[in-house]
Chains A and B, each alone.
Chain A
Amino acid sequence: MIFVATGTQFPFNRLIQYMDDWAKENNEDVFAQIGDGEYEPKNMQWQRFIGLDEYNDKIQQASVFISHAGMGNIISAKEQGTPIIVINRQAKLGEHRNDHQAEGLKWMGKLAGVYTASTQDELYQQIAKRDDLVIASGDSEDNLITLVDHIDSFLTDWHK
């Protein structure tokens, strides 16, 4: 199963159309979370929003997770041990307020387990390679612990 998600803040009709077209041509289950998007898929299962537990289950069950280039989904993919392909929203198509997701692709692609696409062709090429995609190792929490300890030092000081 391939899981597709647009995130909660904006619709991402273009991604949903790409994946609906892909699902028509390929013999694999695809499940999409489409948000408030107007385009309703015909060739894949879909739901507008999904509770967090079920959402994480879907990511875990998926062979690959296809998402807008949002940090939340990258973190969730790492937590669930599923490779993720991200495609950026484009401000000029009304898909986001600005183009930070296009800038984001450059460094996201350097993260383990994260693959990027900015066009339909690139997306399909990445999906075609899905069995070879590497999973991010979720073992290193060093950076998170450093951040939390830093925050905790302020709380401990203030909450005396």
Chain B
Amino acid sequence: MFWNTGKVLAVSSPGGHWVQLNNICNKLEQKHRVIYASPRSQYQLKKTGGRTVHNILDVSADNKPMLIPLAFQMLYLFIKERPQTIISTGAAPGVVAILLGKYLGIKTIWVDSIANVQQLSRSGRMVKSHADVVITQWEPLSDGKTILHKGSVL
């Protein structure tokens, strides 16, 4: 199968989403090959020898027309890297990656940002019924079936 590479593509917007994504993926890297995609990647290069961070457009869901070029960027990345699984902590770039990836047969994991305490984030609600796995970092937001809770970045 085309996606059967064992690679994980980790996607998020900059800032808090990116910090959480790194917290998770720094540990996942002990067992899995992880490739990253984030806007402003020039600020994101942590002390990382062989780490691959692809720069993508800095788009928010408020700027819907820009989601289209971002989707093409993502498609290009998918073909280039052939991830078997996509993981995202948010926000708009993660939604685009997960919806597009899911459609193409890539496995998808959404980890909702710890900043969302009262309800799933807006982007989380967009992917909720599409991602293979949806995880909240707050126990009360889990329904035990489609929205899972086990652990958090803090």
- Which A positions have Cβ atoms within 8 angstroms of B? 7-9, 49-53, 55, 70-76, 78, 97, 100, 103-104, 107, 111, 142-152, 154-156, 158-159
| Closest partner residue, chain A, to B107 (CB atom) | A158
Question: Among the listed A9, A76, A78, which residue makes an inter-chain contact with B13, where contact means beta carbons less than 8 Å apart?
Answer: A9
| Closest partner residue, chain A, to B40 (CB atom) | A8
Q: Give 15 A-B pairs besides A51-B45, A144-B24, A145-B27 with Cβ atoms closer than 8 angstroms.
A: A8-B43, A70-B15, A70-B115, A72-B15, A75-B16, A107-B117, A143-B154, A144-B23, A144-B154, A146-B151, A147-B137, A147-B153, A148-B28, A151-B111, A155-B32
Check A147–B152 contact: CB distance below 8 A: yes
Question: Among the listed B19, B133, B151, which residue makes an inter-chain contact with A72, where contact means beta carbons less than 8 Å apart?
Answer: B19
Within 8 A of A (CB), among B126-154: 132-133, 135, 137, 148, 150-154
Q: Which residues of B contact A7 (CB under 8 A)?
A: 15-16
- Interface of A, secondary structure class, is helix
A149–B154 alpha-carbon span in the complex (Å): 15
A152–B16 alpha-carbon span in the complex (Å): 22
Check A159–B84 contact: CB distance below 8 A: yes
Looking at the assembled complex, report how far the CB atom of A18 sits from the nearest CB atom of chain B, in whole angstroms: 21
Check B111–A72 contact: CB distance below 8 A: no
Check B28–A71 contact: CB distance below 8 A: no
Check B46–A52 contact: CB distance below 8 A: yes
Q: Which residues of A contact B42 (CB under 8 A)?
A: 51
Q: Which residues of B contact A100 (CB under 8 A)?
A: 115-118
- Which B positions have Cβ atoms within 8 angstroms of A? 6, 8, 13-20, 23-24, 27-28, 31-32, 40, 42-47, 60, 62, 84-85, 87, 107, 109, 111, 113-118, 132-133, 135, 137, 148, 150-154
| Closest partner residue, chain B, to A72 (CB atom) | B16
Looking at the assembled complex, report how far the CB atom of A93 sits from the nearest CB atom of chain B, in whole angstroms: 17
Question: Among the listed A104, A148, A150, A155, which residue makes an inter-chain contact with B115, where contact means beta carbons less than 8 Å apart?
Answer: A104
Check B16–A148 contact: CB distance below 8 A: no
Question: Among the listed B8, B19, B40, B151, which residue makes an inter-chain contact with A71, where contact means beta carbons less than 8 Å apart?
Answer: B19
Interface centre among A75, A111, A146, A159 (most CB of B within 10 A): A159
Shortest beta-carbon contacts, A-B, top 8: A146-B151, A72-B16, A147-B151, A72-B19, A150-B150, A71-B16, A148-B27, A8-B14
Question: What are 14 A-B pairs with beta-carbon distances under 8 A?
Answer: A8-B14, A9-B13, A52-B43, A53-B47, A70-B15, A75-B154, A100-B115, A100-B116, A103-B117, A144-B27, A144-B153, A146-B152, A148-B24, A151-B111
Question: Among the listed A8, A73, A143, A155, which residue makes an inter-chain contact with B153, where contact means beta carbons less than 8 Å apart?
Answer: A143
Question: Among the listed A52, A74, A78, A143, which residue makes an inter-chain contact with B44, where contact means beta carbons less than 8 Å apart?
Answer: A52
Check B133–A154 contact: CB distance below 8 A: yes
